[in-house]
Amino acid sequence: MNSPSIAPSLLAADFANLQKELELVNRSEADYLHFDVMDGLFVPNISFGFPLLEVARTYCQKPLDVHLMITQPERYLEAFAEGGASVIHVHYEACTHLHRTLTRIRELGCRAGVALNPHTPVSGLEDVLEQIDVVLIMSVNPGFGGQTFIPHTLQKVAKLNQLLTASGSTALIEIDGGVGEQNAQALVKAGADILVAGNSVFRSADPVEAIRQLKASSLPMMA
């Protein structure tokens, strides 16, 4: 097992100390900063948008992993690419013309991600695999941080892993929602490449150490 990439989710950060939170991400072993955009329509919550993206881009040295939980995300691809996104995830359920949207994300110089809600089967991606760089499997219903991990996700990751291998796809598998030390190792074993972690990082006593531990989750447990 390779060690997973870690993407702390900004949604769980202390917004009164945002610069400090971003600086701790910088000095940690994190590989990305996960940036959750919610529109109050696709999901029953509103988070943040471009002003905060500019802050993240200014103070965070890690690549920005932008998760768009918005309807018709194709309307904002240029703006997020210009805003500094490295990866842009659109939701499968929010895209009428998913192939076109993914193609456009790549044209803009970003990596193309597709997010799947818990009820969306991985088989729906079969005809668009060549356009995908990352599949973001939601392990909670999107909209809020701090929710409980849905156990079925483990089987879904394994199934996606098989699908990708069988089709020769090099797309990465990313997991988002309720991820922490209690399930990280099982997720990596099932095939996860990138772990998003909000509360388990920012609400821990030592976020830098929490990131280090998640990163080490491919290693055998110490007795």
Question: Least distance to Zn ion from the beta carbon of 166, Å?
Answer: 27
Please give the structure tokens belonging to residue 79: 């703006």
**179 or 211, CB closer to ligand DX5?**
179
- Those residues whose C-beta lies under 8 Å from the C-beta of residue 22, and which sit 6 or more positions away, are 13, 33, 55, 56, 59, 60
Question: Least distance to ligand DX5 from the beta carbon of 118, Å?
Answer: 11
Interface stretch with Zn ion, choices 17-25, 28-36, 57-65, 73-81 (CB under 5 A): 28-36
Q: Which of 31, 36, 65, 133 is catalytic?
A: 36
> Quick check: is 36 catalytic?
yes
User: Rounded CA gap, 121 and 175, in Å?
Assistant: 15
* Vertex 175 angle, CA 135 and 72, to 5°: 50
CA nearest to 42, candidates 69, 66, 68? 69
Binding positions for Zn ion, 58-117, rule CB under 5 A: 67
Q: Which residue(s) pair with 69 in the sheet? A: 38
**18 or 221, CB closer to Zn ion?**
18
Q: Which of 31, 133, 176, 193 is catalytic?
A: 176
**73 or 178, CB closer to ligand DX5?**
178
Helix (H, G, I), strand (E, B) or coil at 122: helix
> Quick check: is 14 catalytic?
no
> Which residues are identified as catalytic?
36, 176
